[in-house]
Amino acid sequence: MSRRPLIAGNWKMYKTGPEAVETATTLARLCSNVQDVEVMIAPSFLSLPLVAESIKGTNINLGAQNLYFEKQGAFTGEVSADMIKAAGAKYVIIGHSERRQYFGETDTSVCKKIKAAIEVGLKPILCIGESDTQRDDEKTFSVLDKQVSNGLKGYGSDELAQLVLAYEPVWAIGTGKTASIDQVRQVHLYLRSLLEKLFSKDLADQTRILYGGSVKPENAKDLMGIEDVDGALVGGASLDADKFINIIKYNN
Ligand code: PEP
């Protein structure tokens, strides 16, 4: 099955509204002839409506970096799936390692967030990945198994039709260290077979599995060339449109 690659930029807590609009506008211009890959950018919540307006009619999609799973209510400081959808987003990143590490995100809250996203028609990008100690202790596959099984507990293949999985080894995020081609190949193959075991062959075949962790213009082509890698989740290198476009156009 052919899966259209997704190159997604996670802007984390960078860029004010005007700065986000400026980068998004430049990127949209640079992407005008991009057809073979889907592009997504995830600015801060505050910038979502502004960026939505600036990329209207272009081939760039909008995503959020998180959501809160309740529909509405007295949850000071939180943002619901409905609000994100109404702001113009199509995707939402869920369970990023920085959220797990600094904000107490667990597989249980991740699971609820996936549900909230699916209910409003947002495409969830579920982030999973092992730490360096877990890798050293040869626990990579058991950690990933747990994150996927628990994060997606209770769902059927139909509900997960829009799911995107992002394998992001924690030790490779923002560190400049990239997983080796062999490490990425092994994990992506494992994740696809895990999806088949837990859900169905159809879901395993259709789900895009992204790699994330210090993706740069210099390594994008090699990483994207690996079987079972269907795109990238890019942090640092997505903040600069001129750099990011060279990842998006990894094939050129
Ligand atoms: C990320 O934030 O998801 C990420 C992969 O960051 P970086 O590309 O900077 O390693």
Given a cut of 80, whether residue 1 has pLDDT beyond it is: no
Given a cut of 80, whether residue 38 has pLDDT beyond it is: yes
Whether residue 1 is contained in a domain is answered as no
Output the CA 74–ligand 1 centroid distance in Å.
32
> Domain range holding 216?
6-248
CA distances from 114 to 123, 135, 188, 216 (A): 9, 26, 21, 28
Percent of the chain's residues with pLDDT above 90: 97
pLDDT in tens, 108-121: 999 999 999 999 99
Whether residue 11 is contained in a domain is answered as yes
Residue 188 appears among annotated catalytic residues = no
**CB of 101 closer than 6 angstroms to any ligand 1 atom:** no
Whether residue 197 is contained in a domain is answered as yes
Whether residue 239 is contained in a domain is answered as yes
pLDDT in tens, 173-211: 999 888 999 999 999 999 999 999 999 999 999 999 999
Q: Is residue 73 a contact partner of residue 114, using CB atoms and an 8 Å limit?
A: no
Span 153-161, mean pLDDT? Answer: 95
CA 125/CA 165 separation, integer angstroms: 6
The count of domains in the chain is 1
Atom of ligand 1 nearest to the CA of 175: 10
Atom of ligand 1 nearest to the CA of 176: 10
Span 133-144, mean pLDDT? Answer: 97
Span 7-21, mean pLDDT? Answer: 98
* pLDDT for the residue numbered 2: 84
Whether residue 89 is contained in a domain is answered as yes
Whether residue 72 is contained in a domain is answered as yes
- CATH number of the CATH domain containing 151: 3.20.20.70
Whether residue 158 is contained in a domain is answered as yes
Average pLDDT value over all residues in the chain: 97
pLDDT in tens, 52-106: 999 999 999 999 999 999 999 999 999 999 999 999 999 999 999 999 999 999 9
**CB of 212 closer than 6 angstroms to any ligand 1 atom:** yes
* pLDDT for the residue numbered 128: 98
Whether residue 138 is contained in a domain is answered as yes
